[in-house]
Chain A
């Protein structure tokens, strides 16, 4: 069952589209990864899905058409993005960043959830009332994830969450994403340069090259198929 179903998606920043005619599915509760070289159009795909740039084509999320809705409308329907570069609200405190993440929720459990997230990431708890701009890069990545997840999204979009993080932190991060997927059933669409880690985490894979999907399949196919690995992943 597809939670997100994309057909014939094209988008860009000027006259010429950067991504063209992309078909893509994310199954409910599963992790899907987009691989591709620098400049392939991965971030552009994410921005097209989250409503930040105009698109042509069809984007169906949870049974309804969301193409060309505003980012805030899409976010409130349960699709959240951790953008490349994290998008931290630097002048707001860590706590207020989390409150902003939860601002579309109407239940009364938000403060309790903030506590449970800071229990999960003690580094955030220690700096809960400091401006988020004071956090280290890794801590900001944790905050960005927590800020998206505290809204309890059905689908989490993550654009290169490992960027700029030390290898040991990256492994922790991927373990955490797996834990979230297993415990909460959150579906994820991940953009990642680290193909090894990504293929281990994901069940479905898309390979993007200059704005088009050139290969797709299950993560196992990608891991086991020497031809694909050599041709596209250089490993």
Chain B
């Protein structure tokens, strides 16, 4: 029982972070119909920015804010200067650009911040005694904080997308760009905003995971997050925001329970399980669990 609760708590924490990255991928996919392979590396960059600020004595909350601003600018700039010109040449050039960007950002991180591991302050109290006991299992404030922060971030995203004028324009531009433009929507601007927002979501995910990641803050911090996050987005259907969240939480919990209870898989094989789950889902439902076939009637 104790182990189960601790496993679930662990799984939820990772799951929420995967959900955030998956959500960022879906927001980009809805804008540009492409999977941004560089999403997690962009998040790693802004996480480094936040870490660097904390080493200069700036509070982690201010650093989080700064990382979000930097993230927005980088995301928007990448869309405007790299992705949009590439899109005019087709899907393949766009994918290549994004893979190149993945490598480039990773290399830049290494150049600027070095290859060693850094320990990073968390947003939440992380002392040895900062936990609540549930049936003799310990649930750390750190974990509860990650859940709360992720839930707030997700709720804000859903609010913006479904309840605001800006969200309406985003949904219109994603549904039918040509038709949205004929209604007076500057679709390019909306896409730029989408990429910027996705990078903000990614920055939050990076800053939540780095303090508690086994890789601490290093070049490897975001690899598992990218793998699980993209798997979550694909399982969720790539164009469903709710699907991204469900996918992320499912994978986080599955990872934690499988590593804990299925002896032979252990910590080495568990990233393969993410891919296995993804392949199985896609075999059963090629559009993902929540992916929609377009409704069309003419």
Which A residues fall within an 8 A CB radius of B? 50, 52, 70-72, 75-76, 80-81, 83, 85-92, 96, 99-101, 103-104, 131, 133-137, 140, 147-148, 151, 164
Given contacts A72-B181, A75-B183, contact A135 B297 (CB under 8 A): yes
Binds A, one of B89-97, B172-180, B213-221: B172-180
Q: Which of B165, B171, B184, B294 contacts A72 (CB 8 A)?
A: B184
Given contacts A72-B187, A103-B165, contact A80 B182 (CB under 8 A): yes
Chain A: which residue is nearest B294 at the CB level?
A: A90
Chain B residues in 8 Å Cβ range of A103 = 165, 168-169, 172, 183-185
Chain A residues in 8 Å Cβ range of B294 = 90-91, 133
Chain B, 143-194, CB within 8 A of any chain A CB: 165, 168-169, 171-172, 175-176, 178-187
For this complex, 30 residue pairs linking A to B, each with C-beta atoms less than 8 Å apart, are A52-B178, A70-B186, A71-B181, A72-B184, A75-B182, A75-B183, A75-B184, A80-B182, A83-B179, A83-B182, A85-B298, A89-B171, A89-B176, A89-B180, A90-B294, A90-B296, A91-B294, A92-B172, A92-B175, A99-B168, A100-B168, A100-B169, A101-B183, A103-B169, A103-B172, A103-B183, A104-B183, A133-B297, A134-B295, A135-B297
CA distance in complex: A151, B292 (Å): 30
CA distance in complex: A185, B295 (Å): 35
Chain B, 9-33, CB within 8 A of any chain A CB: none
Mark interface residues in B255-269 (1 if CB within 8 Å of A CB, else 0): 000000000000000
Q: Which interface class (under 10, 10 to 19, 20 to 34, 35 or more) fits B?
A: 20 to 34
Nearest CB in chain B: distance from A131 CB, A: 6
Query: Do the beta carbons of A50 and B183 come within 8 Å of each other?
Result: no
Chain A residues in 8 Å Cβ range of B175 = 89-92
Given contacts A90-B294, A91-B294, A134-B295, contact A96 B171 (CB under 8 A): yes
Chain A residues in 8 Å Cβ range of B178 = 52, 71, 83, 87
Nearest CB in chain A: distance from B210 CB, A: 36
Chain A residues in 8 Å Cβ range of B182 = 50, 52, 71-72, 75, 80-81, 83, 87
Chain B residues in 8 Å Cβ range of A90 = 175-176, 294-297
Chain A residues in 8 Å Cβ range of B187 = 72
Query: Do the beta carbons of A72 and B169 come within 8 Å of each other?
Result: no
CA distance in complex: A147, B175 (Å): 15
Query: Do the beta carbons of A100 and B295 come within 8 Å of each other?
Result: no
Chain B residues in 8 Å Cβ range of A136 = 297
15 further interface pairs, Cβ-Cβ under 8 Å (given A87-B179, A100-B169, A104-B184): A52-B181, A71-B181, A83-B182, A88-B176, A89-B171, A89-B172, A89-B179, A91-B175, A92-B171, A100-B168, A135-B297, A137-B297, A140-B298, A147-B183, A151-B183
Chain B residues in 8 Å Cβ range of A81 = 182
Chain B residues in 8 Å Cβ range of A140 = 297-298
Nearest CB in chain B: distance from A177 CB, A: 18
Most buried by A among B168, B181, B298: B181
Chain B, 213-234, CB within 8 A of any chain A CB: none
Query: Do the beta carbons of B179 and A88 come within 8 Å of each other?
Result: yes
Q: Which of B180, B296, B297 contacts A100 (CB 8 A)?
A: B180
Chain B, 282-298, CB within 8 A of any chain A CB: 292, 294-298
Nearest CB in chain B: distance from A38 CB, A: 17
Nearest CB in chain A: distance from B84 CB, A: 13
Given contacts A133-B295, A140-B297, A164-B298, contact A91 B171 (CB under 8 A): yes
Nearest CB in chain A: distance from B211 CB, A: 38
Chain A residues in 8 Å Cβ range of B186 = 70, 72
Nearest CB in chain A: distance from B67 CB, A: 32
Query: Do the beta carbons of A91 and B181 come within 8 Å of each other?
Result: no
Chain A residues in 8 Å Cβ range of B176 = 87-90
CA distance in complex: A137, B183 (Å): 20
Chain A residues in 8 Å Cβ range of B297 = 90, 133-137, 140
Query: Do the beta carbons of B168 and A86 come within 8 Å of each other?
Result: no
Chain A residues in 8 Å Cβ range of B168 = 96, 99-100, 103
Chain B residues in 8 Å Cβ range of A83 = 178-179, 182
Chain A residues in 8 Å Cβ range of B165 = 103
Given contacts A75-B184, A103-B185, contact A133 B298 (CB under 8 A): no
